[in-house]
Amino acid sequence: MAGERMIGCLLIHGFTGAPYEVEPLAAFLKERTDWEIRVPTLPGHGAPGSLKGVQYQEWIDYAEAELTQLAVTCNEVYVIGFSMGGMIASFLAAKYPVDKLILLSAAAFYVNPKQLAVDMKEMIKDSLHGKLRDNELFLRYKRKIKETPLAATFQFRRLVSFIKPLLHQVNVPTFIAQGECDGIVPPKSAEYLFHTISTKQKKLAFFKHSKHHICYCEERDLLFSQVLDFLLEKRTV
């Protein structure tokens, strides 16, 4: 069919997040490719208070439906997942004919106490100088704590427990990116994913100054170009 896009790319945001978390990367790819790019909003996300009563299976089902739609028009499909979205992306790569997988700050483990302590220290310092309202990290934590029902956090944990045993089934080329200053997902999460997924074609990249929202970090240009290079690489059999 004339004009049909042959490559599709699905980007999946994180828990309590929204498409904005991966938007900078989506924009970067749109500018440089003619791929069909989808950045859906998972059920219960995108509006405060809407996570109440949502089950983790709904997030998986929604991502599956997006992938299925993409596969109708594209004969090659890449999946990119951020944080919890990285776990969902891994599930899709384990169960469906996905061609390549990109994991950004993927949450196989979560809450990095060491980095969290550093972040808290910064917040306390800002608070003493009356600058807490300007501390972006504090505002994000505050919003998440205020807007996230406990039951939703339980669903997130259930999702991670459900997907972890399936990681060894991932056998597609995979690029794993992790910020070393991530206060939510510790670096050991990226190492665990790298060692657990079965594919021989895998790459692990650490970004020294990056926090959890890796698509907004100061090293994002380097990250995005590495992601694109990886997606453009010919797949070895």
pLDDT digit string (tens) for 118-132?
666 776 776 677 766
Instruction: Give the per-residue pLDDT at 125.
Output: 75
What is the chain's length? 237
pLDDT at 89 over 90: yes
Are the C-beta atoms of 214 and 104 separated by less than 8 Å? yes
Are the C-beta atoms of 76 and 8 separated by less than 8 Å? yes
Q: Which of the following CATH numbers is that of domain 7-110+150-227: 3.40.50.1820, 3.30.499.10, 3.30.420.40, 3.40.605.10?
A: 3.40.50.1820
Q: Residue 134's CB: how many other CB atoms inside 10 A? A: 10
For the ranges 44-48, 138-142, 217-221, the maximum mean pLDDT occurs at 217-221
**Which residue, among 187, 10, 29, 34, has the nearest Cα to 82 in the 3D structure?**
10
Report pTM: 0.85
- The domains of the chain are located at 7-110+150-227
Which tops the pLDDT comparison, 151 or 237?
Answer: 151
Q: Residue 41's CB: how many other CB atoms inside 10 A? A: 15
Write out the two tokens for 18.
């929204």
For the ranges 119-123, 146-150, 199-203, the maximum mean pLDDT occurs at 199-203
